[in-house]
Amino acid sequence: MASWRNGTLYIGVTSNLMARIVQHREGTFDGFSKRYGVNRLVRFAMADTMEAAITREKQMKVWKRSWKIELIETDNPTWRDLAEDWGFEPFPTPIPSS
């Protein structure tokens, strides 16, 4: 998840991506993602098991920021909100370009 292009990034694990997108977009929970407006799905990956997903999350959380940005831009160079592909409304302001 990201606040905007090259903005604040959030890496997490969930067993229900749709519900988690709603939580981020609506700011349901106080904390990091709500405080920094991290509400756009810019990348996601599936894992065979929750254990594998958690292992990958822990690896990525210690990556350099530049590596995370490179990974996002490999699949989503414009940082488009992928949640819109599943019927979520676009945010009123576009993600600023770099």
Per-domain boundaries in the chain: 17-86
Predicted confidence at residue 44, as pLDDT, reads 97
Distance CA 77, CA 42 (A): 9
pLDDT of residue 59: 97
- pTM comes to 0.89
The residues, any chain, with a CB within 8 Å of residue 43's CB and separated by 6 or more, are: 71, 72, 75, 76, 82
For the chain, 98 residues long, give each residue's pLDDT as a single digit of tens.
999 999 999 999 999 999 999 999 998 888 998 899 999 999 999 999 999 999 999 999 999 999 999 999 999 999 999 999 999 998 776 555 55
DSSP 2-45: BSSTTS-B-----S-HHHHHHHHHHT-S-SHHHHTT--B-----
Which pLDDT score is estimated for 94?
56
**2: which strand partners?**
9, 40
